[in-house]
Amino acid sequence: MAGKSEAASRRRKAVVLLSGGLDSATAAAIARHDGFDLYALTVSYGQRHAVELSAARRVAAALQVSQHVELAVDLSAFGGSALTSDIPVPRNRSLDAADIPVTYVPARNTVFLSLALGWAEVIGARDIYIGVNAVDYSGYPDCRPAFIDAFERLASLATRAGVEGGPFHIHAPLVHLTKAEIIGRGVELGIDYALTHSCYDPSEAGRPCGTCDSCRLRAKGFAEAGLADPALAG
């Protein structure tokens, strides 16, 4: 047992941003498959769909993460998004629309990655995983490869670890995949998607609305993957 503990302590650490949604769960499973010990960070940011926090706990437990931190950073103090204010969540919006929808939370991924970076530096991790996707997504600017590349450069410039010669790597393994491909990869890795939550505006009982962008993208992904969504079973 001691040998196992010593071996585990020598494994590389990765901070994974874990929202409780389908994409973040898959990215975390990929990080585990890549050989990392997982340190999961979930941000309670005043989101309308706070039920996803429970999903994050379920996913973290299933993936047997080494540590799961839930951090409260209340972005609803700023508002500016349908997810953090009383702005209505759009229903049945065209998924091909070119505009950035009101469910965009200003600078959310910049804030989340900054928090993950701070924790990574403290625990000696040089790898951060985020489940952003630039193919089947809602048009958010902070889900694009250019953003990930820019933040990776920033990470090595803005930290003591980076200055002292330990560059950080921001992994976005889903960024070029369709939702169906993401689901297929997650199934290969044994993810139980019944544990996850995607809806932006669930009922009081936590049931998905079925008509917000996130629900529709999820449904499209499962349909194109030829699979039933286990979260809707029963």
Asked if 195 and 62 touch (Cβ cutoff 8 Å), the reply is yes
Q: Given its phi and psi angles, is residue 226 left (phi above 0), alpha (psi -120 to 50 degrees) or beta?
A: left
What integer pLDDT is reported at residue 234 of this predicted model?
A: 58
For residue range 148-175, list pLDDT tens digits in order.
999 999 999 999 998 897 899 999 999 9
Question: What total of structural domains would you count in the chain?
Answer: 1
Cβ neighbors of 2 (< 8 A, separation 6 or more) are none
Domain that holds residue 58: 2-229
Indicate if the pLDDT at residue 4 is higher than 50: no
Closest to 105 (Cα-Cα) out of 200, 6, 11? 200
Q: Is residue 234 part of a domain?
A: no
Indicate if the pLDDT at residue 9 is higher than 90: no
What integer pLDDT is reported at residue 2 of this predicted model?
A: 37
DSSP assignment string, 15-77: EEE--SSHHHHHHHHHHHHTTPEEEEEEEE-S-TTTTHHHHHHHHHHHTT-SEEEEEE--GGG
What integer pLDDT is reported at residue 213 of this predicted model?
A: 93
What integer pLDDT is reported at residue 166 of this predicted model?
A: 84
What integer pLDDT is reported at residue 10 of this predicted model?
A: 62
For residue range 178-216, list pLDDT tens digits in order.
999 999 999 999 999 999 999 999 998 889 999 999 999
Q: What kind and span of H or E run contains 170?
A: strand 169-171
pTM given for the model? 0.93
For residue range 81-136, list pLDDT tens digits in order.
999 999 999 999 888 778 899 999 999 999 999 999 999 999 999 999 999 998 87
Residue 3's pLDDT band, with cuts at 50, 70 and 90, is: very low
For residue 17, report the phi and psi dihedrals to the nearest 5 degrees: -80, 115
Q: Is residue 106 part of a domain?
A: yes
The domain that contains 86 carries what CATH number? Answer: 3.40.50.620
